[in-house]
Amino acid sequence: MSKSTDNCGFATAIKMIEGKWKVDILCELGTASRRFGRLRQAIPEISEKMLAQQLRELEADGLVDRKAYPELPAKVVYSLTERGVALNAAAEALCRWAEQFSPIADASTQVYAAPASLQNVS
């Protein structure tokens, strides 16, 4: 990344959602708080190891909150932080942009519509 884009808010947001599954996780948590197992069921293609890693990264970036309850069996609930909710709201604008311009996109320009996982951001 060049020095001119290092401080760009858009570049910062993209860095935070880098990763194959982060957008899917944010979309799921945008609808409701979830336990690990429910997230895993909602995104069946993701491995447990990858889900745990992506959740740790999202938590470190301040987008996801992890609340552990002192129960047996252990109960951990993940939810979006205020920052995560704001990112999901910003992603909605990107989805609208993709919907507006995707009809003119073709394979020669390699411009694609937003992934389905982004289209349901709440």
**CATH 1.10.10.10 assigned to 11-98:** yes
Considering only residues 112 and 103, tell me which one the structure prediction assigns the higher pLDDT: 103
pTM for this predicted structure: 0.73
3-state secondary structure labels for all residues of the chain: CCHHHHCCHHHHHHHHCCCCCHHHHHHHHHHCCEEHHHHHHHCCCCCHHHHHHHHHHHHHCCCEEEEEECCCCCEEEEEECHHHHHHHHHHHHHHHHHHHHHHHCCCCCCCCCCCHHHHCCC
Local confidence band at 61 (pLDDT 50, 70, 90 cut-offs): very high
Mean per-residue pLDDT for 75-82?
A: 95
Instruction: Kindly indicate the confidence band of residue 55, based on its pLDDT and cuts at 50, 70 and 90.
Output: very high
CB 16 within 8 A of CB 54: no
Phi and psi (nearest 5°) for 120? -105, 20
Average pLDDT of the residues of the chain: 82
Rounded Cα gap, residues 116 and 95, in angstroms: 9
pLDDT (average), residues 16-22: 87
> Does the pLDDT value for residue 94 go beyond 50?
yes
Whether 79 has a pLDDT exceeding 60, the answer reads: yes
The pLDDT of residue 122: 44
